[in-house]
Amino acid sequence: MERLLLDPLAALGRGTLAACRTAGAVTLFALEAISHLLRPPFYWRLFGRAFAEITWFSLPVVALTAIFTGMVLALQSYTGFARFNAQSAIASVVVLSLTRELGPVLAGLMVAGRIGASFAAEIGTMRVTDQIDALTTLSTNPMKYLVAPRLLAGTLGLPLLVLVADVLGVMGGWLIGTFKLGFVSEAYLRSTFDFLEAIDVVSGLAKAAVFGFVVTLMGTWCGYTSKGGAQGVGSATTTAVVASSILILALDYLLTELFFAR
Amino acid sequence: MTAQVPKIRLRGLRKAFGTKQVLDGVDLDVPAGHSMVILGGSGSGKSVTIKCILGLIEPDAGRIEIDGQDMLGMDRREREAVGDRIGMLFQNGALFDSLPVWENVCFKLLAQKRIQRRDGRDKAAEVLAQVGLAASVGDLYPAELSGGMQKRVALARAIAAQPDIIFFDEPTTGLDPIMGAVIDGLIVDCVKRLGATAVSITHDMASARRIGDQAAMIHQGQIIWTGSAAALGDTGNAIVDQFARGEREGPIQMALRR
């Protein structure tokens, strides 16, 4: 009877301690990476490569996601708002939803799947094939070489991507609004920008910067700490995507509270 | 007259992973300019020993001296300065997949800013020639090379910065006997040319005799024998002789049966 009560509590305690240990380890990893950003040398070439990977090479998938999301949003809002004659609010709903929430969150999730997995797999493979140890023996700090440039690229790159996604998402809504729902183009665009405030865009970009940091942090951390050969690398890749996706959603709530709660 | 300070001196080196005591008080001296081969069965702690010297693993206890300086008592910058003088050939080469061969070879020289990037290809060609590879190999990626060529490139990378200590981890593993002998010959030539101190770990007895002038046997986390590499197989130590001759019967097998 006593064991029936204590065993689940012990398991809960072990799980909590393990979660705290992991959170502490990730925090120390992030702080060390940031400290390397502040001390020379900085590997601009690697930063450029990661930045291009996050922005230019992620653009097709993020652009398609944004355009279709804008289109669906316009369509759904129309069918919903028509019930109480509020169709004129569609353009505002589309732009506010995209800039504040859907742009950063969907771009973050897409980049988590694409870049987080790629970073975890690449660095994880380097770990299990001794390439990270080789860096150390070649007078190069692996954190400075592998992690710091990627973290900066993620933090600066995702807001840029989200800015493009915002524009394309609004364009998707405009396409449906004007060509399918019968809005006058000028009126739709005026309605889009009339209610849009700087904080709507800025908060979305700030969220994107945080999500970019989190995605690259989890990708690099999972890869850096992976072990056990191909299976370990596979597991690191899955963990990187799942962890960054959950963190994006959780942080989205916290940041929304921070920016908009009254 | 004072005794010459060994290039590498290990004293009481201990390292455990969980409950497994891998190194249990390793003592070893490697004199300057010599080539030491460390022998031992799988999991005996050979790789852990050199990773401790390289600073890739932090030992639990003990002392690691390079040129008489205690590595574990040094700050990060001092350790990095010592590390700059060390080269390492990893078992599987550990070449960087994303970089062409010339950049792999010159990686340390570029990292230490000893050469400009625009001079990298020429410098790599020079070092590749020392390991019997054509300059054109410099533009290939590691995945485009055979196992033997990858080992040569890894050797070129290890010697490019002209280190005064070089570690070789299983240099002939995965190679055919002829390629193994070729790699051993290159290692001997390169070490002699540089006047470096070399430490190799291997299971391959033919390789051990070719590249080592001294040998040490690690068993159950301790160095149980050191002597001339030429004497391997006839050392008078039952464990070393059994290992060197590759015999099924002997003290090592008895230990496994217990």
Q: Do the beta carbons of residue B170 and residue B184 sit within 8 Å?
A: no
CB contact under 8 Å between B111 and A138, yes or no, is: yes
Taking only the tens of pLDDT, chain B with its 258 residues reads 456 889 999 999 999 999 999 999 999 999 999 999 999 888 888 999 999 999 999 999 999 999 999 998 888 888 888 888 999 999 888 999 999 999 999 999 998 888 898 999 999 999 999 888 899 999 999 999 998 899 899 999 999 988 999 999 988 887 788 888 888 888 888 888 888 999 999 888 888 899 999 999 999 899 999 998 888 878 888 888 888 888 777 777 655 544
Whole-angstrom distance, CA of residue B72 vs CA of residue B54: 11
Whole-angstrom distance, CA of residue A26 vs CA of residue A32: 10
Q: What is the pLDDT of residue B258?
A: 46
Q: Do the beta carbons of residue B29 and residue B36 sit within 8 Å?
A: no
Of B78, B81, B83, B32, whose CA–CA distance to B56 is shortest? B83
C-alpha distance from A47 to closest chain B C-alpha (Å): 15
**A140: which chain B residues are within 8 Å (Cβ-Cβ)?**
107-108, 111
What residue ranges define each of the domains in chain B, with the CATH number in brackets?
8-85+163-257 (3.40.50.300), 101-162 (no CATH)
Collapsing DSSP to helix, strand or coil, A8 comes out as helix
Q: What is the pLDDT of residue B3?
A: 63
Helix (H) or strand (E) holding B13: strand B8-17
Q: What is the pLDDT of residue B1?
A: 44
Whole-angstrom distance, CA of residue A147 vs CA of residue B31: 38
Give me the half-sphere count of Cα atoms (radius 13 Å) on the Cβ side of residue A172. 25
Please identify every stretch of chain A with a pLDDT value under 70, giving residue numbers as ranges. 262
Whole-angstrom distance, CA of residue A33 vs CA of residue A42: 12
User: Where are the alpha helices (H) located in chain B, listed in sequence order?
Assistant: 46-54, 76-83, 101-105, 107-111, 120-130, 147-160, 177-194, 205-211, 238-245, 251-257
Whole-angstrom distance, CA of residue B137 vs CA of residue B128: 8
The Cα angle at residue A188 between residues A186 and A193, in degrees rounded to 5: 95
Tokens of A175: 């396409």
Give me the half-sphere count of Cα atoms (radius 13 Å) on the Cβ side of residue A212. 28
Q: Which residue of B has its CA nearest to A43?
A: B111
Q: Which residue of A has its CA nearest to B91?
A: A130
Q: What is the pLDDT of residue B253?
A: 62
CB contact under 8 Å between A140 and B111, yes or no, is: yes
Q: Do the beta carbons of residue A63 and residue A168 sit within 8 Å?
A: yes
Q: Which residues of A have a CB under 8 Å from any CB of B?
A: 122, 125-126, 129-131, 133-134, 136-140
Q: What is the pLDDT of residue A214?
A: 97
Predicted TM-score (pTM) of the model is: 0.88
In chain A the first and final C-alpha atoms are separated, in Å, by 49
Which of B99, B108, B113, B117 is the best residue to mutate to test the A interface, defined by the most A CB atoms within 10 Å of its own CB?
B108
Residues 6 or more apart from B33 whose CB is under 8 A from it? B7, B195, B196, B197
**B80: which chain A residues are within 8 Å (Cβ-Cβ)?**
139
Is the ipTM higher than 0.85? The answer is yes
**A139: which chain B residues are within 8 Å (Cβ-Cβ)?**
80, 83-84, 108, 111-112, 161
